[in-house]
Structure 1
Amino acid sequence: MPVMHFLIRWPDGVEANCYSPSTVVGEYFAAGESYTVGDFVARSREALNIGSERVREKYGFACSAALDQLARIEEDAGRFSEAHDARVTVLALD
Structure 2
Amino acid sequence: MPEMRFHIRWPDGTAESCYSPSLVVREHLTPGESYPLADFLARVSTALTIASERVAARYGFACSRALGQLARLEAAGRAFAQDPDARVRVESFDA
TM range (shorter): over 0.9
Rounded Cα–Cα distance in structure 2 between residues aligned with 1:90 and 1:16:
10
Task: Give the length in aligned residue pairs.
Answer: 94
Q: TM-score, normalized by length of structure 1?
A: 0.98
1:28 is displaced (CA, Å) by 0.5
Q: Percent identity, aligned pairs only? A: 56
Where do 5+ consecutive residues of structure 2 fail to align?
none
Question: What is the CA deviation profile of residues 31-69 of structure 1, one whole-angstrom value per residue up to 9, with x for unaligned ones?
Answer: 100001100000010000000000000000000000000
Where do 5+ consecutive residues of structure 1 fail to align?
none
Aligned to 1:39: 39
Q: TM-score, normalized by length of structure 2?
A: 0.97
The answer to whether structure 1 residue 74 and structure 2 residue 74 are counterparts is yes
Aligned to 2:11: 11
Aligned to 1:90: 90
